[in-house]
Amino acid sequence: MNNDPEVSIIIPVYNSEEVIEETLESALHQTYDDYEVIVTDNKSTDNTVSIVEKYAENNSKLRVFRNEKNLGPVKNWKRCLEESRGEYIKILWSDDLMSDTFLEKTVDILKNDQEVAFVYSKVNIFGNNINKLFYELGRTGKYPAERFLEGAFLRKYRIPSSPGCALFRKKDVTVHEDIDNGFGLDLSETGAGIDVLIFLEALHKYGYFYFINEALSFFREHSGSITYQNTLYRQYNIARALYIKEYDLTEYAGRMNCIFIMMEYYFTRKIIGKKTLSKYYNSDEKRHVKVNYFFFLIFPLVTLIRILFRSRPAAYKAGEANSTCASEEGKNDAEVKVMFLVNIISPYRMALYNYMNDMPGISMKVVALADIEDNRNWKVEKTKYRFSYSILRGIRKYIWSRETALYVNWGLRSEIRAFRPDIVITRGYSTIPEWLALIYSKLFKFKLILWNGTTLQSSHSIKGVKGMLKKKFIKRSDGYVTYGTKSAEYLEYFGADTSRIAVGCNTVDTELFRQKTKSILKDKKCIEKRKKYPDVMLLFVGELIERKGLKNLLDAVNRLNNKDLGLFVVGTGSLMDDLMQYQKDNSIDNIYWEGYKQQKELVEYFALSDCLVMPSLEEVWGLVVNEALSSGLFVLSSDKAGATYDIVDQDNGRPIDPENIEDITGNIEYVVENIEEIRNRREKISKTFSENCGLKRYADAILESIRIT
């Protein structure tokens, strides 16, 4: 019986201590289970090996090998390949990342279609202030080999050179150790050129390849990466020339040589002749060094026309746009092109964007003003994005006293001209790019939808100059989608046309929280851990700042003075030391300060707790209430929060006045007195909320806003 894994993820490494952990995390958390991870270390002089070996101790999928001497990069690739046992090979460079669904979405394609040479995905290149999608060939599907060759030799299509975004059959992976050339260059020193030949050699044996129009691969750009270096053009051209010569593809040679001449002039400012061209081929045979002079003259003009055409602004109605991604039959599907303009791509929005990206009839992109805001400790998991996105370059300043960020960004106009949206959905009107989006909507004839969460209770300014500016932005928007009923009332106050308001229900990935909490509740470790805490456990989640109202909650717990009552405090903030000192000074027992937790860690606290208390003195919505209800918790939710009015009812919680300590105390007493009944309701609360307030409901509201705009 063969117990070898089906897939091998091979990671050749050398002095990668700063990035290898993130790379391993992406490799070891695949949703596809039948695979191994092979790491071959090329005699690193830093802590790379110790980091990898520590991971191997806790994960049987990972095997580590160390070379006795530095073999150079290419021979280390070959060593990695030799140690692998899988039928399929995924190359993962030590500074790159892969989506957790990469294998799930690629393996079956190679297994089920013997005409396909390899499968590759769109690539997100990040780092060095860049965050862009590359190698967008067209729609997901099977393509003839000629299309890849025309991209590789004639620049007709954008195809990758690095095999780090692809899955191959092991039997098809050929790694050249070096390539003879007339320039005296040693290609094995960097592997540049040798990498693209892995694609080309595999393709020669088949008639097709498969492209996935989704960013499943993530290349890190930094000064030491091949992604970053544009001076390796000769190495890549030498590799292309070798392939032309080996397989006598002379139909490409004349046109490809023109590109070689142009590249030489671009990088060296010298016009080369056939003598230099022969160095690429290490041969002076006429059929190799011929030049197609007509192509030489027409290629720059065609390239210029393509650039100009690609940059044209949109000038068509919503619903009448054609997809820019052609299918393999050459047809275009009518899709509405939607651009979301947001401050940051927050973890709790990722699931909604992924959900909408998978919906038919929608082509979408998310444009963010920053990766993260200074008041957030979120871990950004870009490998889980299934949607196209970009981060605008710019400057930001977070003002702690006002809990707001100031943004100065550039590049929005270019994003709009390149994507050509029918609809731009903006999250507000407090930044320069959002006002520019409003202006561009009039210039470029697309519709602008305001995605509003602000309520009259949470707004600091509805009068004066600020109020006037808000009114102008709101009234000039073409449509609206809201977090809930209270944010719809806010729009009505400022004169929005009520017939163009789609009322949503702000949400998270409810099913994710529901299933993960159910799983943890059945875990014996969780059951034993729960016994260490008081009988009734309350939960507070949020920043430890004044408007979150934690001090009033501590006062309420103190008044009850119940040794069978405890409180988890999950979060950090500027008032943490003061609040901990307040607890100590007032001898408030059973307060557990847990610090900040990432989303996946937070689920454990939902499982350990009986009731969420959100005592916010001011809150736009309060998504933690959604998370708690999805997990089956009873909630005591501030009447200052939008969520309380739309998703909290007599079956799953109670509203509280966060400024009235007696009201908070009385509602906590209700929870304690009825704890068994509340616990018995847990599954019903979770199931009902997840079914009624999930991603579909919110996505439908956004689609409705598009329809009525």
* Domain CATH code at residue 371: 3.40.50.2000
Whether 404 and 516 share a structural domain:
no
Question: Both 495 and 566 in a single domain?
Answer: no
Residue 319 lies in a domain: no
CA angle 622, 628, 633 (to 5 degrees): 135
End-to-end CA distance of the chain: 61
* Distance in angstroms (rounded) separating the CA atoms of residues 416 and 437: 9
Task: Read off the amino acid at residue 643.
Answer: A
Residue 399 belongs to some domain of the structure: yes
Instruction: Give domain status of residue 100, yes or no.
Output: no
Residue 101 contacts residue 27 (beta carbons within 8 Å): no
423 phi and psi, to 5 degrees?
A: -135, 135
Spatial distance between the Cα atoms of 131 and 439, rounded to a whole number of angstroms:
25
DSSP H or E run through 362: strand 362-368
382 exposure class (CB count in 10 Å sphere: 0-12, 13-18, 19+): middle
Paired with 399 in beta bridges are 404
DSSP secondary structure letter of residue 188: G
**What total number of domains does the chain contain?**
2
User: Torsions phi, psi of 253, nearest 5?
Assistant: -60, -50
> Which residues is 341 bridged to in the sheet?
367, 426
Q: CB 26: neighbour CB atoms within 10 A?
A: 23
Domain that residue 514 falls in: 510-693
Q: Do residues 99 and 164 lie in contact, with contact meaning Cβ atoms separated by under 8 Å?
A: no
Residue 494 sits in the same domain as residue 530: no
φ, ψ dihedrals at 367, nearest 5°: -115, 120
CA-CA distances (angstroms) from residue 475 to 429, 486, 566? 12, 18, 48
Quick one: pLDDT at residue 222?
A: 56
DSSP 554-593: HHHHHHH--TTEEEEEE---TTHHHHHHHHHHTT--SEEE
Query: What is the CB neighbour count within 10 angstroms for residue 705?
Result: 25
Is 411 in the same domain as 514? no
**In a 10 Å sphere around its CB, with 0-12 CB exposed, 13-18 middle and 19+ buried, how is residue 42 labelled?**
buried
Together in a domain, 562 and 530: yes
193 in a structural domain: no
**Closest of 321, 318, 339 to residue 433, by C-alpha:** 339
User: 192 Cβ partners below 8 Å, 6+ apart?
Assistant: 226, 229, 232, 235, 236
Statement to judge: residues 525 and 501 lie in one domain: no
d(CA 547, CA 682): 29
- What pLDDT score was predicted for residue 113? 95
Residue 355 lies in a domain: yes
Is 100 within 8 Å of 214 (Cβ atoms)?
no
Q: Can you give the pLDDT at residue 497?
A: 93
- Domain-located, residue 589: yes
533 and 390, same structural domain?
no
- β 130-134/116-127 pair status: antiparallel
The answer to whether position 471 is within a domain reads yes
Q: Do 465 and 546 belong together in one domain?
A: no
Q: What is the mean pLDDT of each run of 10 residues along the chain (709 residues)?
A: 87 94 94 96 95 93 95 94 96 94 96 96 79 82 94 88 95 91 88 92 93 91 53 86 89 86 81 86 80 67 52 34 33 73 90 92 91 71 84 80 76 90 94 93 94 90 87 95 96 94 95 93 92 97 95 96 96 94 95 91 95 96 96 97 95 96 97 96 96 94 94
Query: Does residue 449 share a domain with residue 392?
Result: yes
Give the CA distances from residue 621 to residues 154, 434, 453, 686, in Å, rounded to whole numbers and listed in that order. 53, 21, 7, 19
DSSP secondary structure of 539-550:
EEES--SGGG-H
Contact 607, 470 (CB under 8 A): no
d(CA 432, CA 436): 6
Residue 515 and residue 371 share a domain: no
A 10 A CB-CB count for 364 gives 21
**Token output for 180:** 């003879």
Cα angle 314, 317, 323; round to 5: 65
CB 517: neighbour CB atoms within 10 A? Answer: 25
Angle between helices 550-560 and 576-585 (to 10 degrees): 20
Q: Which two tokens stand for residue 308?
A: 């100009």
pLDDT at position 370, please? Answer: 87
* Helix, strand, coil percentages for the chain (3-state, nearest 5): 45, 20, 35
**What DSSP designation does 322 have?**
B
d(CA 243, CA 226): 21
Are the CB atoms for 545 and 579 separated by under 8 Å?
A: no
Which tokens in the block code for residue 402? 């006002």
Question: Under DSSP, is residue 235 helix (H, G, I), strand (E, B) or coil?
Answer: helix
Sheet of strand 611-614, all strands in order from the earlier edge strand to the far edge: 591-595, 565-570, 536-541, 611-614, 634-638, 653-656
Per DSSP, the three-state class of 619 is: strand
Nearest partner of 98 among 121, 75, 114, judged by Cα: 121
Q: How far is CA 466 from CA 462, 479, 498, 558, in A?
A: 7, 21, 22, 41
Check if the beta carbon of residue 354 is closer than 8 Å to that of residue 215: no
Whether residues 576 and 685 share a domain: the answer is yes
Per-residue pLDDT at 311: 39
499 and 565 fall within a common domain: no
DSSP state of 427: S
Structure tokens at 240: 């292309």
Instruction: Give the CA radius of gyration of the chain.
Output: 29
430 DSSP 8-state letter: S
Would residue 132 count as lying in a domain? no
Q: Please say whether the beta carbons of 456 and 493 come within 8 A.
A: yes
| DSSP string over 506-528 | ----HHHHHHHHHHHHH-HHHHH
The SS3 assignment for 221 reads coil
